[in-house]
Homo-oligomer: A and B are copies of this chain.
Amino acid sequence: MFSKACEYGIKATIFIAINSSENRRVSPKEISEEIDSPQAFTAKILQALVRNNIVKSVRGAYGGFEIEKDKIATTKLSQIVYAIDGDGIYKGCGLGLHTCDENHPCPVHDKFKVIRDELKHMLENTSLEQLALDIKSGVAFLKV
C-alpha cells in the first residue's frame, strides 16, 4: 500500500508530534529507536519531510526535529503520504493504465475508484493530533 519510506515517515512524524506537544526535540537516533526503523534511512526521510514543511529541523547543539504546536492539529496524514509517495495512490489506475480516466476506464475502475476515494478521504481527514493521542493514551503503538 504505502512504501516503507512512507510508513517510516508517518510513524516518525507521529513520534515527533508527541514530543513536540511536550516541548521536546528529538533526534533521528531516538526516532528510529522508537519506531523501529533504520536510522540513516529514516534521517533521509526526515529531510524530505522538512523540505515539504511538515516537520521543522533545528541544526546544531540542542537541535533536533520538532513540529510547531498548531500544526499538530492541522497536519493531515494525506500531506505526509503525498510528500513521500506522491499522489499515485489517490489518482492512479488500479491496473496501471497510464492515467485513470472515466472516459477510458480499466475493467476495475468503477469498483476501485470507490475504495481509492475512501482511502483519500480517510487520509485527508485524519490529523496528526488524533494519531498522537492514541499513542499517548496507550491504545496504539508505533512498533512491535
The residues of A with any CB-CB pair to B shorter than 8 Å are: 1-2, 4, 7-8, 10-11, 14, 77, 89, 92, 94-98, 104-109, 111-112, 114-115, 118-119, 122, 126, 131-132, 134-135, 139-144
A95 touches B10 (CB 8 A): yes
Query: In the assembled complex, which residues on chain B have CB atoms less than 8 Å from the CB atom of A139?
Result: 105
Query: In the assembled complex, which residues on chain B have CB atoms less than 8 Å from the CB atom of A1?
Result: 1, 89, 92, 94
User: Taking the full assembly, how many copies of this chain does it contain?
Assistant: 2
B126 touches A122 (CB 8 A): no
Tell me whether A131 and B108 are in contact in the complex, defined as CB-CB below 8 angstroms, given that A1-B1, A96-B4, A115-B115 are known contacts: yes
A-B contact pairs, 11 of them (CB 8 A): A1-B89, A1-B92, A2-B95, A2-B96, A10-B108, A107-B134, A107-B140, A107-B142, A115-B118, A115-B119, A118-B118
